[in-house]
Amino acid sequence: MKYILAILFFGAMVGIYIFLYLMNKKTPLPEGCEDLKVDCSGCHDFGCTNHPAHHLKKEELQ
């Protein structure tokens, strides 16, 4: 019973997160905030979406 409760609770939490994520994505950005970027020079973590390499165009990467 305890493990069923745990699975249900986890499912509910994931459901809440997905709902809020989709709601946030649907909410339009305020005027003038369309192209905000973090002023980050970048460490060596290329997985981070704020790494400057993600904002370079294909030609600049080559």
Partner 1 sequence: MIAELATLLVTCVLINNVILNQFLGMCPFMGVSKKTSSAVGMGIAVVFVIVVASIVTYGLYYLVLVPLGLEFMDLITFILVIASLVQLTEMFIKKTSPSLYKSLGVYLPLITTNCVVLNVCLANISNGFDFIHMLVYSVGTPLGFALVLYIFSTIRERLELSEVPSAFKGNSIALIVAAIMALAFSGFAGLV
* Interface residue list for partner 1 (CB under 8 A): 2, 5-6, 9-10, 13-14, 16-17, 20-21, 23-24, 27-33, 36-43, 45, 48-50
- Between residues 32 and 58, which has the closer beta carbon with respect to partner 1? 32
CB of 50 closer than 8 Å to CB of 40: yes
Q: Report the b/e string of 15-28 with b at 16+ CB within 10 A.
A: eeeeeeeeeeeeee
Euclidean distance between CA atoms 26 and 20, whole angstroms: 10
- Between residues 27 and 62, which has the closer beta carbon with respect to partner 1? 27
- Between residues 33 and 61, which has the closer beta carbon with respect to partner 1? 33
